[in-house]
Structures are given as structure tokens and as C-alpha cells.
């Protein structure tokens, strides 16, 4: 395993636990995007590069899924662009 949860979720207030998990999930998915794109840039194997970039795109959709959940769960996270 390359990753560890960056905070101790056992110490998180129960009301905030799911929101904290969603934030950690967003971080993990963004980290995965960077990892796959970095590996894609390193390999000279065109097929491997193609698969890594496809997986990176899938990870970007996962970022969006967790972020959408977080927007619903955390009212302070709502749009703040004046609309
Ligand atoms: Fe993912």
C-alpha cells in the first residue's frame, strides 16, 4: 500500500466523520490522478501509457463523485461564486 489516511478518523466528531472521509477520498483520488499521469509520462511503452492515462481519467471521475457528495453533505462547501 502506498497510501495512508492522513488523519486519525477515530478522533473525528461523529457528526463530521462522513465529511472527513469524503475529503480524504477526494485527496486520495487526486493523488491517484497524479500518480498515473506521472507514470504515464515515464514509460516508453505506448500501450501502458494509454492504459495509465485511461485510468487517470477514471480517477478524475471519482474525484467528481466524492466532491459531489461532499457538496451535498457540507453546506459550508456550497457555491461561493455569487450565483
Ligand atoms: Fe479511484
Distance 39 CA to ligand 1 centre (A): 16
pLDDT at 76: 86
In a domain, 9, yes or no: no
Using CB atoms within 10 Å of the CB of residue 67, give its burial: 0 to 12 exposed, 13 to 18 middle, 19+ buried.
middle
Q: What is the mean pLDDT of the chain?
A: 91
Question: Is position 10 within any domain?
Answer: no
Q: Domain for residue 2, yes or no?
A: no
Q: 53: number of CA atoms within 13 Å, CB side?
A: 10
Tell me what pLDDT residue 68 has: 96
User: Is residue 56 one of the residues assigned to a domain?
Assistant: yes
pLDDT tens, position by position, 12-42: 888 899 999 999 999 999 999 999 999 999 9
Show the domain range for 42.
15-75
Tell me if 83 is assigned to some domain.
no
Cα angle for residues 44, 46, 47 (degrees, 5° grid): 130
Contact present, 19 and 35 (Cβ < 8 Å): no
How many whole angstroms from 36 Cα to the centroid of ligand 1? 11
Going by pLDDT thresholds of 50, 70 and 90, the confidence category of residue 83 is low
Q: How many domains does the chain have?
A: 1
Predicted confidence at residue 1, as pLDDT, reads 53
**71 in a structural domain:** yes
Give the span between the Cα atoms of 3 and 76, in whole angstroms. Answer: 28
Within a domain: 57: yes
Give the model's pLDDT for residue 3. Answer: 77
Amino acid at each position: 500500500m502506498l497510501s495512508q489516511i492522513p488523519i486519525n478518523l477515530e478522533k473525528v466528531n461523529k457528526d463530521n466523520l462522513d465529511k472527513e472521509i469524503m475529503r480524504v477520498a477526494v485527496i486520495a483520488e487526486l493523488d491517484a490522478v497524479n500518480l498515473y499521469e506521472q507514470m504515464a509520462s515515464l514509460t516508453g511503452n505506448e500501450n501502458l501509457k494509454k492504459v495509465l492515462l485511461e485510468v487517470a481519467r477514471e480517477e478524475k471521475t471519482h474525484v467528481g463523485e466524492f466532491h459531489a457528495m461532499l457538496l451535498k453533505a457540507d453546506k459550508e462547501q456550497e457555491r461561493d461564486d455569487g450565483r
